[in-house]
Amino acid sequence: MDKEIVVTIDNYDVFGQYRKDDILNAMQDLYHYLKTDIEQNYTVEEINDYHRHDLKRLSDIINDDKVKGIKEFNQFLKVCNELAPNEYQIK
């Protein structure tokens, strides 16, 4: 079984490469990347109206006490894909 996962953007760019036992770091990195991108490209009003709910959902997944595995990461990526114009996947 492969010990690493690769997070891709739109099926061709690589966001990052992580060990399977380090999925929490992958979630945190992607969350901070998306949050920073949103803060740079939207007004506070737009963030509150359109993005705050999904950012909270991502934060809740990260802060949940459950062990983070592929299932939780796929759930996390599903929310990311609702929030972002790009499609994030695990390879």
Per-residue pLDDT of the chain (91 residues; tens, 9 = 90+): 458 999 999 988 999 999 998 999 999 999 999 999 999 999 999 999 999 999 999 999 999 988 889 999 999 999 999 999 999 999 8
How far separated are the first and last CA of the chain, in Å rounded?
A: 13
Amino acid present at 81:
N
pLDDT of residue 2: 57
Among 20, 43, 26, residue whose Cα is nearest residue 80: 26
pLDDT of residue 1: 47
Residues 6+ apart with CB under 8 A from 76: 27, 30, 58, 61, 62
Whole-angstrom Cα distance, residue 3 to residue 82? 28
User: What global pTM score does this model have?
Assistant: 0.89
